[in-house]
């Protein structure tokens, strides 16, 4: 059968032969054995409803084995045999180009070069899934192939509920992931519901089909690292030999070494999984691979002496590096951590003094002991960080719940008031006030033709647009504009493409609208093929996350999720091709609500109208919320936007003198 024929058939008419898992695959860790006997039977019953009754006897045994071995039913037998990658948009069997664009993005998210655990449909973050199982993938692709531009596909945590009549202006797909009743939003609730096959964790962009590999976060990481050094280095201080120490190379964390190179420092990134570290080295995301800590010390000192800009992946535990550098008195300028501590008990963070292989056995056979070892390591980890910060190291939480889980483990990470953490989140200190409050966030695009020359042309278009905007930009955002222009001009040289021909660029609403309009005109003129627009949920408006994206909201509303919900609803009727809303993402299930979108530019006047309407709202919704929280930069930004846009009327806060409050209670 051809690729198109396989897509169109959906669930095969004939039961395919059972497959063996490839030995070289980077397997997802076994999930917690949390279901009762009756619940395990229910999980099998739920899985079998995708298939004809004649297959149930054979599949029930197989699915039970999967549940025992993996803690999940992935239906690996039904993984298609064709190569999984983003094809030219014209190669997909579809009645509408919008549907073909979504198919392209789904396959890009499952491309083994992009995905962390592709056999289990997990894109990044240890558990960020596109679908729960391969039957869902087959059905979704079939529905997209059949869809007209007057239908909408509704997807519940990976499950395609079906095609519903809608209209040309409606989104083609609406995705929800993990949207459970609030009182059932604890980690064990996710473990149980995911094992039952009724809910999933879509991370931030996996379940939205908008992940583009480590590049997806590398620009934000670069901005964060550059501005972290700007905060601590004196104006005339020699910046050579400065060190950035962190951990994690599996998913989005894989961007850290590349960002360090762009920022011009020595980056040391520890990763316990040898396959993950080797993969990033082979892809060119990290320069040097080291598995001996003595040699790491030697190589770091050499890099400092020679004023090198180099990134080093240490295959081992980050705690050993912090402690050894303390003993050797190697000064760490900035430090962070981007391990997946939103899933601390299932492979998101590995304890010291236990090997990677032994840890995976403990996760499966003795989860309580594994949890004890993780918490002991978190206390030890924090203690060593504290030793370094006393010497002047600037440490920030990179938002994957390091400080949150360390505090729960009893580590010394709390401020004197015992309410706040002693170290800031990077959003509190850097991205919030310097980017999000002004409306700058991670704008993304994917060239649907798959042609590198199309990406080159879009890079040039974006750079020219930003240069024109900067000439009339106020002083308050000149630094952001210059950083973004420098970024896009050097993007190709930094070789960040993995999978699809994609790019990320921090831009505000004005920049996004003008860049997208220029793209649409280039498509109309036949200069480039269609372009898919999107963004990371880690943005101005998309995410309500009290320990990350909205951690610089101080009016008491940081635990509310109105902004993210309004974002996805507002985008849906303003022209998005698909929209998504998730529970969980980056910092963990129950800790965040985040929404995203995708939009196809096809060169039409309708696309131009939609992009102007939707992109404007997508950003300014968040600036309005941040201004109401009394954030000075956001008040400046929304006032400026109201001056330019007569139809925009935002409720502004009246500021209160602090002295008025002191004697009231």
Taking residue 493's Cβ as centre, other Cβ atoms within 10 Å add up to 8
The answer to whether 475 touches 555, Cβ cutoff 8 Å, is no
The answer to whether 99 touches 172, Cβ cutoff 8 Å, is yes
Here the tokens at position 82 are 């064709």
* SS3 (DSSP) at 83: coil
283 annotated ligand binder: no
Q: Residue holding tokens 């298939």?
A: 51
CA distance 52 to 54: 5
76 annotated ligand binder: no
CA distance 363 to 373: 11
The DSSP-derived string for 333-353 is SEE---S-TTSTTTTSS--TT
398 annotated ligand binder: yes
Contacts of 435 (CB under 8 A, 6+ apart): 223, 441, 480, 506
Nearest alpha-carbon partner for 28 in 105, 133, 124, 172: 124
Taking residue 363's Cβ as centre, other Cβ atoms within 10 Å add up to 22
| Degrees, nearest 5: CA angle 202-207-209 | 155
432 annotated ligand binder: no
142 annotated ligand binder: no
What dihedral angle (degrees, nearest 10) is formed by the CA atoms of 543, 345, 278, 112?
A: -60
SS3 content of the chain, % helix, strand, coil (to 5): 45, 15, 40
271 annotated ligand binder: yes
Q: Residue holding tokens 């090997």?
A: 355
C-alpha dihedral sign at 207, 212, 218, 220? negative
* SS3 (DSSP) at 597: strand
Q: Where is the binding site for NAD(+), in residues?
A: 125-126, 203, 271, 398, 586
Q: Which residues are annotated as a binding site?
A: 125-126, 203, 271, 398, 586
């Amino acid at each position: 059968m051809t690729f198109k024929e396989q897509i169109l058939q959906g669930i095969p008419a004939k039961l395919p032969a059972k497959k063996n898992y490839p030995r070289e695959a980077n397997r997802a860790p076994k999930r917690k054995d949390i279901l009762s006997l009756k619940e395990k039977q229910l999980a099998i019953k739920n899985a079998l409803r995708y298939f004809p009754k004649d297959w149930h006897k054979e599949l029930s045994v197989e699915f039970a084995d999967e549940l025992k071995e993996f803690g999940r039913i992935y239906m690996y037998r039904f993984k298609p045999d064709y190569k999984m990658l983003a094809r030219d948009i014209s190669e997909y069997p579809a009645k509408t180009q919008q549907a073909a664009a979504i198919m392209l993005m789904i396959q890009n998210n499952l491309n083994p070069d992009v995905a962390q655990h592709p056999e289990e449909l997990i894109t990044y973050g240890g558990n960020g899934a596109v679908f729960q199982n391969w039957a869902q993938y087959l059905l979704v692709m079939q529905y997209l192939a059949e869809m007209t531009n007057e239908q909408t596909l509704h997807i519940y945590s990976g499950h395609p509920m079906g095609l519903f009549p809608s209209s040309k202006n409606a989104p083609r797909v609406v995705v929800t992931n993990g949207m459970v009743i609030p009182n059932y939003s604890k980690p064990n609730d996710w473990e149980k519901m995911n094992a039952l096959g009724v809910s999933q964790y879509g991370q931030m962009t996996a379940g939205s089909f908008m992940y583009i590999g480590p590049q997806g976060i590398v620009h934000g990481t670069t901005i964060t690292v550059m501005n972290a050094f700007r905060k601590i280095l004196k104006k005339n201080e020699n910046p050579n030999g400065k060190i950035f120490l962190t951990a994690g190379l599996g998913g989005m964390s894989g961007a850290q070494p590349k960002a360090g190179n762009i920022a011009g420092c020595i980056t040391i990134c520890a990763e316990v999984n040898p396959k993950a570290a080797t993969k990033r080295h082979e892809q060119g995301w990290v320069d040097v691979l080291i598995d001996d800590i003595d040699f790491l010390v030697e190589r770091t000192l050499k890099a400092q002496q020679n004023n090198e800009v180099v990134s080093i992946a240490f295959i081992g535990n980050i705690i050993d590096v912090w402690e050894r550098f303390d003993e050797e008195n190697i000064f760490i300028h900035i430090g962070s951590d981007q391990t997946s501590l939103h899933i601390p008990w299932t492979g998101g963070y590995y304890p010291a003094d236990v090997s990677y292989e032994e840890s995976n056995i403990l996760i499966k056979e003795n989860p309580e002991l594994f949890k004890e070892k993780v918490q002991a390591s978190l206390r030890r980890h924090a203690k060593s960080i504290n030793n370094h910060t006393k010497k002047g190291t600037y440490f920030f939480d990179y938002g994957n719940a390091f400080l949150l889980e360390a505090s729960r483990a009893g580590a010394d990470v709390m401020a004197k008031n015992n309410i706040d953490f002693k170290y800031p989140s990077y959003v509190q200190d850097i991205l919030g006030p310097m980017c999000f409050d002004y409306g700058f966030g991670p704008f993304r695009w994917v060239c649907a033709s798959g042609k590198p020359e199309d990406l080159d042309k879009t890079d040039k278009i974006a750079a020219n647009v930003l240069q024109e905007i900067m000439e009339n930009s106020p002083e308050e955002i000149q630094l952001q504009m210059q950083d973004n222009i420098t970024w896009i001009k050097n993007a190709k040289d930094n070789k960040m493409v993995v999978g699809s021909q994609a790019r990320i660029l921090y831009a505000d609403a004005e920049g996004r609208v003008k860049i997208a309009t220029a793209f649409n005109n280039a498509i109309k003129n036949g200069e480039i093929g269609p372009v898919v627009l999107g963004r990371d949920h880690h943005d101005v408006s998309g995410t309500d996350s009290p320990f990350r994206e909205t951690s610089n909201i101080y009016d008491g509303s940081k635990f509310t999720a109105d902004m993210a919900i309004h974002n996805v609803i507002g985008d849906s009727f303003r022209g998005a091709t698909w929209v998504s809303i998730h529970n969980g993402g980056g910092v963990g299930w129950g800790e965040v609500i985040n929404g995203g979108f995708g939009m196809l530019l096809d060169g039409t006047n309708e696309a131009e109208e939609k992009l102007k309407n939707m992109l404007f709202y997508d950003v300014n919704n968040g600036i309005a919320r941040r201004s109401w929280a009394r954030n000075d930069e956001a008040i400046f930004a929304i006032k400026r936007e109201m001056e330019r846009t007569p139809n925009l009327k935002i409720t502004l806060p009246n500021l209160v003198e602090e002295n008025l409050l002191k004697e009231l209670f």
